[in-house]
Structure 1
Amino acid sequence: MGETSPTTPEGVPERLIRATVGLLAEQGPSAIKARTVASAAGLSTMVVYHHFGGIPELVRAVADHGFTELGTAFSQVPVTEDPVVDLFVLALTCRRQARENPHLYDLMFGLSTRATYRPLESDVRLSGHSPAFRDAYTHVTDACARLVNSGRVEPHAPEVVAAQLWSYVHGYITLELGEHFAEFDDAVGQVLLPMGVNFAVGLGDTRERAEVSHERAVRMYDSVRPALDSSAGA
């Protein structure tokens, strides 16, 4: 009672967004046209323009939907006494989200590696400052603040640490999705994990402690992943 139904006017935008997400996963960004989105949602083409104004606005809403899902996944990650563990579990969670729908990931971060459609530059800039993005990113900056406050690394501005971490994690994800690590049997273990260790050491952590934390993070991620997957499918 009182919940919004996908068939009510209030539920139509969410219905269109989910249809777009599905099209991205199945066919890629070339499928994102008003007619195909409306058809996938079982609605008329005019409904797309009525609720969003056009495809660029729909695309922005879809990107925000992706960041909302990422923030929800981040919120399911346990906060421990080891902020290095927490940060690497967040990195692995972000990687999983990207691999589940690479085209949605491209859209969220303004990439066009496999895309034939790309949002306007103004949409790309604004998406990095949307409330949905900020809510997800807060989990990263909070974990970086815990790391700095722990005294385990040299004093750094948490927002700078977060930006550096965000850069290396998404650099890895982008290259992995582009199949640049195909020669590795275990790209996470051979590339992402050592890079995380090097990042922590560069901030002032000891290599031994950083390695222990990253190995613990992998084990923790494996233990909590069923819950994360269940939450994503809800």
Structure 2
Amino acid sequence: MDGVSPRPAQPDIRRALIEAAATILAESGPDGLSTRQLAREVGVSTTAVYTYFGGMDDLVRAMVHEGFARLNRALTATGDSQDPVADVVRLGRVYRENALRHRHLYAVMFGGSALAGFSLTDEDRAHGLYTLDLLVAAIERCVVAGRFRSGDATLVAHELWMSIHGIVTLEIGGYLFEPYDADACFDAQVCTLLVGSGDGLERARQSIAMSGAEAAAKEPAA
């Protein structure tokens, strides 16, 4: 039967294949990802995998690109405010929220053991750097506003990115506990980076609190 499942095919087959492949990689590792297993999960023939992606390496590459595309859409939706430092923090919060919402894709975006055996080039790994553009722009606005001292905005963006990536990785792995849970670590680490970039401690704390209040206000009621 060529790997056909009795379940109906998803209306968006390409998206469904990406979602299912990311889940399989996260739960079973690279050895568990096969065209037959993937087709079974989505409810299509194995031919569909080759129709949409050409092969497994292309599928993995598509997962990486999709993960960064979702992140970029989330970051772009934040917009700018009158407080550029709060905007920097807000972008960090959105990065974290997106990682938690799409944690299977997030694991694929940054490679590691999940992608052992698949061929990703340096160009593939550099693909997601465009998602830093909004953060770099926000940091540059902080400099213009006199909140940050002049310097390499792209380097500051990388420092923030690496810090939040570390927090998110520990959070997803379940390694952060009260009183040093992910929320506390996020606020403390971001504050350190803001002050290190030239902001005053109290103003940095105010901007962090502002972005936190905005994030809480957007959360759906329980």
Q: Which category of TM-score, normalised to the shorter sequence, fits these structures?
A: 0.7 to 0.9
- Give the letter for the 2:102 counterpart: N
Q: Tell me how far apart the structure 1 counterparts of residues 23 and 174 of structure 2 sit (CA, whole Å).
A: 22
Selected match of 1:201 from 192, 195, 199: 195
Contact 1:74/1:90, CA 8 A, preserved across alignment: yes
- Give the letter for the 1:106 counterpart: A
Q: CA 1:139 to 1:54, structure 2 compared with 1: closer, same or farther past 3 Å?
A: same
TM-score relative to the length of structure 2: 0.82
Q: Tell me how far apart the structure 2 counterparts of residues 174 and 161 of structure 1 sit (CA, whole Å).
A: 20
Deviations 1:63-103 (A, max 9, x none): 11111111111122131111221111111111122222333
Indicate the SS of the match to 1:128.
helix
Q: Tell me how far apart the structure 2 counterparts of residues 62 and 138 of structure 1 sit (CA, whole Å).
A: 21
Q: For residue 46 of structure 1, what is the aligned residue in structure 2? A: 47
> Are 1:187 and 2:160 counterparts?
no
Show structure 2 runs of 5+ residues with no match. Answer: 1-9
Percent of paired sites with the same residue: 30
Q: CA 1:199 to 1:14, structure 2 compared with 1: closer, same or farther past 3 Å?
A: same
Q: Tell me how far apart the structure 2 counterparts of residues 134 and 191 of structure 1 sit (CA, whole Å).
A: 24
CA apart distance, 1:127: 2.9
Indicate the SS of the match to 1:80.
coil
> Are 1:127 and 2:124 counterparts?
yes
- Give the letter for the 1:129 counterpart: A
Aligned length: 210
Selected match of 2:140 from 140, 145, 154: 145
Contact 1:108/1:127, CA 8 A, preserved across alignment: no
Contact 1:24/1:104, CA 8 A, preserved across alignment: no
CA apart distance, 1:49: 2.4
CA apart distance, 1:35: 1.2
Show structure 1 runs of 5+ residues with no match. Answer: 1-5, 227-234
Q: For residue 61 of structure 1, what is the aligned residue in structure 2? A: 62
> Are 1:173 and 2:174 counterparts?
no
